[in-house]
Structure 1
């Protein structure tokens, strides 16, 4: 007998129709039977560091469901503008960092924009300004200029260090800015900086070794360590700095759109430390000059008018960067800024190569560019993972890991230096849309068009026990989204989910009453968690059923065509959080609204910012409609 929802290939290799899903009443009864309600956390819990109390409570429930073996945890979202999704993702990530030793947050964002945030949360200096050609004095393979010359705090290239998360998020200037320039992300960035500088830095280190990481790095030629990383002769203070850097958590982007910004970042770095390499790479990148600043014009010229492409040029540029970057990584582990700068260099060169392929194919079938983009996500994830593992191995070779573990054990643990694993195995959290993280093999895009996504690729690349995928859903509420690509963000009402869709099953289970049976019709409440590994629940929820995805564009008038697709939920994700009624995320670029009561679990309240936003735009104080010149709209919902 065919498993419900299972799809099979016929003799010609085509997907056959799935067995029909179980009836809605049975599915709703299974949801009610297996749902884990999220309690309303007491105010004291939030005051003790839990942030938004309901989201903190959800995170505590979820943490118990994340197996200890998981080291790639993918946290989705059903929209790009829902406050509860951002808050719960943020709170769970904090717990994974503080209690499970995760050391990277990799997000659906351009690398250069996120790199500024990474420098801020790590307390590192901004990158150098591009010097004039005659000022190039560094030799080949030289490490970056001494970090001691600049105060810690991130900041734009050659500028002052950032003083706040708002400033650190300042490179998010183009559509859709609210995705990352919002109050919830800013709060998380401030928490991460505080965790890295105060909690991680205090673990296993004496008081005299504390202080800004940037100011403890020695100038070039100074005796920053005794011996070298291979000799194991670093002094105690250098050991402490290296260990704390390895235990800190970074913030990285993995998207592919920043062709020109990434190319400029590569050249800026190379001009400062390796002028000869800069000249070689710049000659390769000049291939793009005849197409101007609009990356889409490059795609039009190469795919429609069949002009010669820059594929070979960027491939050679990436190879040149990778050939040289090994020398830049020769810095000792107590020079964390040097290692992060080397990662930035290679990652930006990888973006240029990925973006070239993306735009060269942008006028072909949609799934081609989608697949290129998500493969780039994986390549970036693995680059960050390799970087973190390399740094951990350097520190372990110098004896810092063992010393930190012993010190933490003697002090009772805490602060992020606990012995989370016996050997360096980086742990990473991924933030992206459900459509990128829910296994595409179990969606109609995968069945019918051969579309893949990051969730599928991660499951294929890593042992199953090391991977966990969490999805979100909602029935109704509000969302921050634009009416069309490049238009201003608005707080929009989300239509109630369609009958028969997964979201409507969750709604029926949540509200109780008739229609669905089971347990006398009593629901689990307005926020609950489902463990999709439970066999009875997985069987009852087997697809195909409709599922909703709202990106940066919301088109309620054509919602069925624009935002729904078929999926098999229990095979897409491991866990699901349902929030019955949700609120819109609040962008940083509009004034905060007057304080009002805030509904628990979502909807209305203090994030009703649309009036303030309209006034700010009219005064020229907010430019929420600024477009992203490198980012085309190829997907109706903008995911």
Structure 2
């Protein structure tokens, strides 16, 4: 089989396959239904009905239709601030690397060895696509979180964490460093030996996936053993020790699921994608447990992750995501998912993996799409609360093409490659529509 060069490319292929078919059978009636559900969104105070709809949910999942749209970040920021201030949410978990977000988390929680600013913390991010988290919008959130935390006790400070698996090599190095500096040499030597079969590939994801495909041998048992050791150490620790152990414990989990993700690239089917989805969900569950039994968390990730996969054609191929897994494991009443969408404007993306970022025009949406129907429904930014008991949502139970743009985007192919058939009321609990949006403002220069 041909192994995709990178999972983001795999996602682009999957979205492309999903973009064909499922035309709306009541397209003429859709704008009227969408208009009936719409509430204007002009300022943060307008979000009050959305906060009320969140209710007692412990998992609030905030999406995005691209990884390069400024307004998706600023409105998620506004909603997150109100959830933290008014409803006591304890952390934000983002679709980024655990290791890459540690400097920002240390900064916002006033850690003694933290960087001097949120900007400095974010400029330490080195893995492409840099703009996803190293941007002025995230820096503004980081400064607000630090100020919010200033008068709070250390164990009550709001954190920000990465929940992805792509930084597994950095996490592997962090686990080794922890054992080398904090534990006796026999324990460190054992972990070095366990990690050696994976470490031998020196950060080359594709080489490891090809090795597994060609030989049938993997480092699965070895990396799982290290994770088991740190899990047992963490669970046996007292509360003060747990504060120290949680970081390396999570690093070990990144390595375990990162290896599973790479191993899945060597086989047909959804294994690689699903390993990542399972890690998202389990990381947030661990964070909720670590912060305390009554705490609540906010997740920032692409719509493809936070909207229930069962309401899209992902289900046909056996793919899952955090939106589905959290609802299944913890109950639909504990999860509130908010999708985001746009119609026109500009977006920051690249035309190939590790390619140069570009500010691209966002094309007019397909005429049979959700975005086109929302444009026809009226002007202005707005949000929809998808009350499943309301007669107005009936038409939204049918599949309709819904735009999804990744870090790789080729506008000329947008109509064929960037729409996911979606049953809106089953995928999300609410939806924010911003008709015209702008590209992110990245921190790194090129």
- Return the TM-score normalized by structure 2: 0.91
2:170 aligned with 1:167, yes or no? Answer: no
Partner in structure 2 of residue 580 of structure 1: 435
2:41 aligned with 1:88, yes or no? Answer: no
Partner in structure 1 of residue 368 of structure 2: 500
2 CA distance for matches of 1:57 and 1:484?
A: 40
1 CA distance for matches of 2:211 and 2:231?
A: 29
> What is the Cα deviation at residue 270 of structure 1?
2.0
> What is the Cα deviation at residue 165 of structure 1?
0.3
> What is the Cα deviation at residue 153 of structure 1?
4.6
Query: What is the root-mean-square deviation in Å for CA atoms of aligned residues?
Result: 1.8
> What is the Cα deviation at residue 307 of structure 1?
5.0
Spell out the pairing of 1:306-385 with structure 2 (5 A cutoff).
306-327=215-236, 329-330=237-238, 332=240, 338-365=241-268, 367-385=270-288
> What is the Cα deviation at residue 366 of structure 1?
5.2
Partner in structure 1 of residue 12 of structure 2: none
Count of aligned positions: 424
Please tell me whether the aligned partners of residues 21 and 541 of structure 1 are also in contact (alpha carbons under 8 angstroms). Answer: no
2 CA distance for matches of 1:339 and 1:321?
A: 11
CA deviations 1:29-67 (Å, max 9, x no partner) are: 11112211123xxxxxxxxxxxxxx4x245445323322
Spell out the pairing of 1:499-518 with structure 2 (5 A cutoff).
499-510=367-378
2 CA distance for matches of 1:371 and 1:19?
A: 25
SS of the residue corresponding to residue 80 of structure 1 reads coil
2 CA distance for matches of 1:376 and 1:26?
A: 40
SS of the residue corresponding to residue 354 of structure 2 reads coil
2:186 aligned with 1:186, yes or no? Answer: no
2 CA distance for matches of 1:375 and 1:542?
A: 26
2:307 aligned with 1:438, yes or no? Answer: yes
Partner in structure 2 of residue 568 of structure 1: 423
Partner in structure 2 of residue 62 of structure 1: 50
Partner in structure 2 of residue 30 of structure 1: 33
> What is the Cα deviation at residue 295 of structure 1?
2.3
> What is the Cα deviation at residue 20 of structure 1?
8.0
Summarize the Cα distance change of 1:449–1:469 in structure 2 as closer, same or farther, 3 Å threshold.
same
2 CA distance for matches of 1:366 and 1:257?
A: 19
2:82 aligned with 1:79, yes or no? Answer: no
Please tell me whether the aligned partners of residues 343 and 384 of structure 1 are also in contact (alpha carbons under 8 angstroms). Answer: no
2:387 aligned with 1:533, yes or no? Answer: yes
Summarize the Cα distance change of 1:89–1:58 in structure 2 as closer, same or farther, 3 Å threshold.
farther
Runs (4+) of structure 1 moved beyond 6 Å? Answer: none
Per chain length, whose mean CA-contact separation is higher, i.e. which structure has more relative contact order (CA < 8 Å, sep 6+)? 2
CA deviations 1:537-563 (Å, max 9, x no partner) are: 220222211111001111111113321
Partner in structure 2 of residue 248 of structure 1: 157
Please tell me whether the aligned partners of residues 478 and 494 of structure 1 are also in contact (alpha carbons under 8 angstroms). Answer: yes
2 CA distance for matches of 1:99 and 1:153?
A: 30
SS of the residue corresponding to residue 30 of structure 1 reads helix
SS of the residue corresponding to residue 406 of structure 2 reads coil
Please tell me whether the aligned partners of residues 121 and 189 of structure 1 are also in contact (alpha carbons under 8 angstroms). Answer: yes
2 CA distance for matches of 1:568 and 1:194?
A: 40
- Return the TM-score normalized by structure 1: 0.64
1 CA distance for matches of 2:132 and 2:23?
A: 37
Unaligned runs of 5+ in 1: 1-17, 40-53, 125-151, 155-161, 202-243, 333-337, 390-423, 511-524, 590-621, 624-639
What is the aligned counterpart of 2:130 among 171, 177, 193? Answer: 177
> What is the Cα deviation at residue 500 of structure 1?
1.1
SS of the residue corresponding to residue 25 of structure 1 reads coil
Partner in structure 2 of residue 600 of structure 1: none
2 CA distance for matches of 1:566 and 1:326?
A: 42
2 CA distance for matches of 1:285 and 1:560?
A: 44
CA deviations 1:254-292 (Å, max 9, x no partner) are: 101122100111111222211343222111011124323
Please tell me whether the aligned partners of residues 121 and 190 of structure 1 are also in contact (alpha carbons under 8 angstroms). Answer: yes
Partner in structure 2 of residue 556 of structure 1: 411
Please tell me whether the aligned partners of residues 59 and 88 of structure 1 are also in contact (alpha carbons under 8 angstroms). Answer: no
Spell out the pairing of 1:63-212 with structure 2 (5 A cutoff).
63-67=51-55, 69-124=56-111, 152-154=112-114, 162-198=115-151, 201=152
2:221 aligned with 1:278, yes or no? Answer: no
1 CA distance for matches of 2:268 and 2:239?
A: 45
Summarize the Cα distance change of 1:367–1:93 in structure 2 as closer, same or farther, 3 Å threshold.
same
Summarize the Cα distance change of 1:19–1:117 in structure 2 as closer, same or farther, 3 Å threshold.
closer
Please tell me whether the aligned partners of residues 263 and 272 of structure 2 are also in contact (alpha carbons under 8 angstroms). Answer: no
> What is the Cα deviation at residue 476 of structure 1?
0.8
Please tell me whether the aligned partners of residues 24 and 368 of structure 2 are also in contact (alpha carbons under 8 angstroms). Answer: no
> What is the Cα deviation at residue 331 of structure 1?
5.2
| The structure with more helix, counted as a fraction of residues | 2
Summarize the Cα distance change of 1:176–1:264 in structure 2 as closer, same or farther, 3 Å threshold.
same
1 CA distance for matches of 2:368 and 2:374?
A: 10
Summarize the Cα distance change of 1:58–1:80 in structure 2 as closer, same or farther, 3 Å threshold.
farther
SS of the residue corresponding to residue 24 of structure 1 reads coil
2 CA distance for matches of 1:197 and 1:430?
A: 23
